[in-house]
Amino acid sequence: MRVVVVALGKIGLPLAVHIARAGHEVVGCDVDERVVALVNDAREPFPGEAGLADGLREVVGDGRLRAQTDTAAAVATAPDLVIAVPPLVVDAAARPDWGVLDSVIADIGRGLKQVPADSDPVVVSVETTLPVGTTRTRISPALAKASGLRPELSFYAVFSPERVYSGRIFADLDTYPKLVGGLSADGEARGVALYRSFIEAEVWPMGSAEAAEMTKLAETTYRDVNIALANEFARYAGQIGVDVHRVIDAANSQPFSHVHRPGVAVGGHCIPVYPHFYLEGDHAARIPALARDVNRAMPAYAVGLLDAALDGLEDARVLILGVAYRGGVKETAFSGAFDVRDALAAAGAIPLAADPLYDDDELRELGFEPWDGGPLDGAIVQADHADYRTLTPEALPGVRAVVDGRDVVDPEPFAAAGIPLRRIGRP
């Protein structure tokens, strides 16, 4: 099988390597010449993905994977499958900017136009998470317009959402069922057969692109709603002096309860964004919108805990520990650190920031004032970096109170030093 993977980012590149490892010929396309050069040199364009470096050396070394910038030219060679994984850029309100995706689809369409007429129909699969109906009403018509071909006859369009977690993508690809939804029975069947040639996990035909699109939004929206419920439980537990983690553990000992964990923020490209995609289609839905409101309020709640512990934040120097949206990942998409910073400033504090993954210049580019190592009044743990599991008062000179927004800090050293350590929903 010959495959073209478009957009060699944190999802696309591991996927291209995975397909090549299954014995297929893969061409990876990306507009970034640096990324293309690094891939062709069998070097990682980004850190943190387990197995990626070894995989690149293997499949680039034996010629099964190569990269180029010209997507249309790659598609013109009549591959069996084209997988598009471009980022869907969103604004601060999580409204999609279609520019990148539309450009990628137009390039694929121009390539389809050059495919020999006697070739089998190319399957074009989009894995980028989309609002329900996008494959049918936007992707397929755009491919038809750019190529001049008849959809579901000369080419097939399917939707197959990525269901992997950054840092463990190779393991996830062969663990969780792969979902494939088409615009026709023939297109879906062909897409399922192609995915089964390189996915060890089950490949599930979904019956329609809309069903596959909705499934991805359902699973991510569920997580946001569940976390919001945990946050509500945590706030109430804080009022009555109960350990919410003990409550959740006890509740989850019953097989019908699956309560998630509370925290200072819900960040990343997915969970804070996809509920908005769902609401874009289901205007009558109320719970996803309410859950978003609850979760967006948590950074200010954490700042309120510190305010109470310090008897006010006016002119207090407060360190935000971790600007990444989650531990071990150098990414700040919808990170709670921004809302923590803004809530601190609104309370009259002086927000400072530190993160083991970012240097001072990078912090400034993100809008944070780097901590100079000077005395502090308070600190808020925003990201669950492994470094913070061994955090001690000595690392925070002068600190008078700490809020652990991720429940990762060992409370014993702070208790021994007489420094209040506030945790969300825990005594």
pLDDT in tens, 172-211: 999 999 999 999 999 999 999 999 999 999 999 999 999 9
Do 188 and 43 lie in one domain? The reply is yes
* Residue 280 placed within a domain: no
The β-bridge partners of 381 are 321, 404
Question: What CA–CA distance (Å, rounded) separates 425 from 298?
Answer: 12
Please give the chain's pLDDT, 427 residues, in tens: 999 999 999 999 999 999 999 999 999 999 999 999 999 999 999 988 999 999 999 999 999 999 999 999 999 999 999 999 998 888 888 888 999 999 999 999 999 999 999 999 999 999 999 999 999 999 999 999 999 999 999 999 999 999 998 889 999 999 999 999 999 999 999 999 999 999 999 999 999 999 999 999 999 999 999 999 999 999 999 999 999 999 999 999 999 999 999 999 999 989 999 999 999 999 999 999 999 999 999 999 999 999 999 999 999 999 999 999 999 989 999 999 999 999 999 999 999 999 999 999 999 999 999 999 999 999 999 999 999 999 999 999 999 999 999 999 999 999 999 999 999 999 8
* Residue 41 placed within a domain: yes
Residues listed for the chain: 427
Do 201 and 307 lie in one domain? The reply is no
Question: What CA–CA distance (Å, rounded) separates 8 from 270?
Answer: 18
Do 63 and 189 lie in one domain? The reply is yes
Residue 200 structure tokens: 């060890």
* Residue 56 placed within a domain: yes
User: Do residues 94 and 54 lie in contact, with contact meaning Cβ atoms separated by under 8 Å?
Assistant: no
Q: Which of 202, 127, 119, 118 is nearest to 158 (CA)?
A: 127
DSSP string, 320-352: EE--SSSTT----TT-HHHHHHHHHHHTT-EEE
Do 118 and 18 lie in one domain? The reply is yes
What's 308's domain CATH number? 3.40.50.720
Do 135 and 34 lie in one domain? The reply is yes
Do 37 and 132 lie in one domain? The reply is yes
> SS3 for 353?
strand
* Residue 273 placed within a domain: no
Do 69 and 189 lie in one domain? The reply is yes
* Residue 278 placed within a domain: no
Do 324 and 195 lie in one domain? The reply is no
Among residues 151, 186, 209, which one ends one of the domains? 209
Do 407 and 308 lie in one domain? The reply is yes
Among residues 190, 209, 228, which one ends one of the domains? 209
User: Do residues 422 and 305 lie in contact, with contact meaning Cβ atoms separated by under 8 Å?
Assistant: yes
Domain tally for the chain? 2
Q: What range defines the domain where residue 312 resides? A: 296-423
User: Do residues 20 and 62 lie in contact, with contact meaning Cβ atoms separated by under 8 Å?
Assistant: no
Place of tokens 């599991």: 389
Do 160 and 28 lie in one domain? The reply is yes
Burial of 253 (0-12, 13-18, 19+ CB in 10 A): exposed
* Residue 285 placed within a domain: no
User: Do residues 69 and 30 lie in contact, with contact meaning Cβ atoms separated by under 8 Å?
Assistant: yes
Among residues 158, 184, 209, which one ends one of the domains? 209
Do 202 and 300 lie in one domain? The reply is no
pLDDT in tens, 17-35: 999 999 999 999 999 999 9
Specify the pTM.
Answer: 0.91
Do 305 and 176 lie in one domain? The reply is no
* Residue 100 placed within a domain: yes
* Residue 247 placed within a domain: no
